[in-house]
């Protein structure tokens, strides 16, 4: 039988919770950036009749509805799905940056609060 000191198990148990808490910082930053960008940024949407300025979250809904109702025929709005995918990828990329910033803030906070 091997002896385990209470300090060694405490260190092992503490390590995953620190990582979990840092991931919570990342998720919070990602969601804050994703929702913030969805609500504040505007996009131009062309429906074949006119050009409309709408928020990003509404732009996604309009593009999804257009894709579902599409007959597959060419027209003035064909090919807009690739534009929607580009906007979504940029949106996710900026949200990842927001999550990374919050992760850095969480890391600094954890480092300063750690007893020396």
The pLDDT, as a whole number, for residue 113 is: 79
The pLDDT, as a whole number, for residue 80 is: 73
3-class DSSP state for residue 45?
A: strand
Structural domain count, the chain: 1
Is residue 6 in some structural domain? no
Structure tokens at 55: 């928020």
3-class DSSP state for residue 110?
A: helix
The pLDDT, as a whole number, for residue 6 is: 58
Is residue 7 in some structural domain? no
- Rounded Cα distance, 96 and 31, in Å: 9
Q: What is the mean pLDDT of the chain?
A: 81
Give the orientation angle of helix 56-69 with respect to helix 80-113, to 10 degrees: 140
Using CB atoms within 10 Å of the CB of residue 96, give its burial: 0 to 12 exposed, 13 to 18 middle, 19+ buried: middle
Is residue 2 in some structural domain? no
Whether 8 has a pLDDT exceeding 90, the answer reads no
Using CB atoms within 10 Å of the CB of residue 88, give its burial: 0 to 12 exposed, 13 to 18 middle, 19+ buried: middle
- Rounded Cα distance, 11 and 83, in Å: 49
Is residue 12 in some structural domain? no
62: left (phi over 0), alpha (psi -120 to 50) or beta: alpha
Is residue 11 in some structural domain? no
Domain that holds residue 69: 26-113
The pLDDT, as a whole number, for residue 12 is: 53
Q: How confident is the model at residue 17 (pLDDT cuts 50, 70, 90)?
A: low
Is residue 66 in some structural domain? yes
Structure tokens at 97: 């940056």
Is residue 15 in some structural domain? no
pLDDT in tens, 33-50: 999 999 999 988 887 788
């Amino acid at each position: 039988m091997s002896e385990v000191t209470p300090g060694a198990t405490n260190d092992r148990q503490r390590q995953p919770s620190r990582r979990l808490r840092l991931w919570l910082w990342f998720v919070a930053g990602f969601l804050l950036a994703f929702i913030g960008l969805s609500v504040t940024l505007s996009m131009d949407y062309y429906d074949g009749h006119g050009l409309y300025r709408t928020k990003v979250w509404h732009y996604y809904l309009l593009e999804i509805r257009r894709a579902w109702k599409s007959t597959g025929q060419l027209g003035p709005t064909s090919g807009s799905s690739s534009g929607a995918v580009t906007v979504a990828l940029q949106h996710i990329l900026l949200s990842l940056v927001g999550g990374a910033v919050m992760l850095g803030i969480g890391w600094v906070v954890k480092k300063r609060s750690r007893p020396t």
